[in-house]
Structure 1
């Protein structure tokens, strides 16, 4: 190949496969949660824990349009996950997928949804959205029937797992060796215990139906991360009982103590309650 041809090849942008899986954590934290996943044929949103106006602004930041969504998956009925659900669904005529118990628990909070936009997605099942398979799994949290999701497409595996009191062996088996993980690192135990929350709230957060701490996140991830895992996004950080640097340092230290090397093949990333992560290809 001549030099001019070689340089021309180098200067051409890489082609993005039509069926690549991409995602962005639009918002994550105790004040609101939403995660966007797309393939070549489908675009899904998981949870709408912010106002419709804020969600639309977050979509603009990743150069996407909520009008093009094919549906919304719901994890559970807490307000930081469904605050803008009804508004967004009605505004853009978007189907909503949730299990039967969650539908019953949230209907009074989200307003009237047309029957043709209401779909059931039960725990421990798989639904196919053309080129994307979505697997639901139960978690232990103080909601009526909380579930999270694993996304499978083209041999890639993306997991969203937050709002867990603890990480069971069943969950570890389901999400092990994901290419990328969005994983709860909710609180620092010392910050929580010394903080302003009343004891009943502290006990709830620390309990089996509460949230995973930084320390527990690191220990669980050490059993979940596999050879193909490249990125872990630390998610659902408490506004009052955690900090990004603290969460990342704590999880990294635990993983390094277990023999993992951070910064080479495996990287840790922050999420934010108001700033979306970059739209990344899995």
Structure 2
């Protein structure tokens, strides 16, 4: 069985991504209520009681809101780095120590035939990290919640067949929007979120030499729109001589409904 994934939810209100092989099944983050996560999983045809565990990227509530509930209900292992464990401990309630596992930034773990590698990003959490998954020659990379995309991050995502990639905001919408200036400055800063334009530039580096399916993720509810994100990213890629069909396919994600379970 090949590597498959479904973006159960993605956006500023909550995030959860499902990854599976024939023998391993993981959630990356659980940033919605337990009830909502169960409904989203059911919509995607996924059984949460079959999970191998939950991988945590960072402690913000839109990534861990339902983490403790799911872990307790389904007796699931949780994997996070040491600083993230300390930061989220009071947020997720009591979890059996036997369910707590450490996955340090920059480490690589093997679960059956699935290899998982973590890497650092630039975000205003204690030690945020994201993941690449490798199985039988296929690669999936998840990269959101970063203020910029460094050469090192590009290196970690290189040759991915599927990219779940941040396209958080339209810069003009953010600047003219209702957010107070300190929040705008945070989002635009090096530890904030990637804009549509910057997503397109980073993606051009990745898909120019290796065709990939791209899921535009973590869109702001107030400062972006699906059509705008897709149009801006595609225009940016095309301006870099990277073309739909030939180099990439673009897909939307949604904060309220899952994408189909798809082969990487």
Pairwise TM-score range, normalised by the shorter structure? over 0.9
RMSD: 0.8
Does residue 225 of structure 1 match 2:238?
no
Report the equivalent of 2:227. 245
Q: For structure 1, which segment, 261-270 or 187-196, has the greater mean C-alpha deviation from structure 2 after superposition? A: 261-270
The alignment partner of 2:91 has SS state of helix
Is 2:16 the partner of 1:34?
Answer: yes
Q: 2:145 aligns with which of 137, 149, 163?
A: 163
Q: Which structure 2 residues correspond to residues 173-252 of structure 1 after superposition, within 5 A?
A: 173-252=155-234
- Output aligned runs, 1:147-162, within 5 Å: 147-162=129-144
What is the aligned partner in structure 1 of residue 3 from structure 2?
21
State the alpha-carbon separation in 1 of the partners of residues 79 and 102 from structure 2: 5
Please point out which of 107, 113, 121 is paired with 1:125: 107
Instruction: Detail structure 1 runs of 4+ shifted over 6 Å in the superposition.
Output: none
Deviations 1:25-55 (A, max 9, x none): 0000000000000001100000000000000
- Segments of structure 1 that go 5 or more residues without pairing to the other structure are 1-17
Larger gyration radius, structure 1 or structure 2? 1
- The whole-number CA distance in structure 1 between the counterparts of 2:50 and 2:207 is 33
Partner of 1:11: none
Report the equivalent of 1:96: 78
Relative to the length of structure 2, the TM-score reads 0.99
Most deviating of 117-126 and 228-237? 228-237
State the TM-score, normalizing by the size of structure 1: 0.92
Q: How many residue pairs get matched?
A: 264
Q: Which SS does the other structure have where 1:59 is aligned?
A: helix
Unmatched segments (≥5 aa) in structure 2: none
Determine the C-alpha separation between the residues in 1 that align with 2:262 and 2:210: 16
Q: Distance in 2 between matches of 1:229 and 1:52?
A: 36
Deviations 1:95-133 (A, max 9, x none): 000000000000000001101100000000100010100
Alignment of 1:259 onto 2:245: no
User: Which residue of structure 1 lines up, in the alignment, with residue 97 of structure 2?
Assistant: 115
1:229 deviates by 2.7
Please give the residue correspondences for 1:3-18 in structure 2 after superposition, counting only pairs within 5 Å: 18=1
SS at match of 2:237: helix
Give SS of 2:40's match: helix
Tell me by how many angstroms 1:70 deviates: 0.5
Cα distance in 2 for partners of 1:241, 1:62 equals 27
TM-superposed deviation, 1:227: 3.9
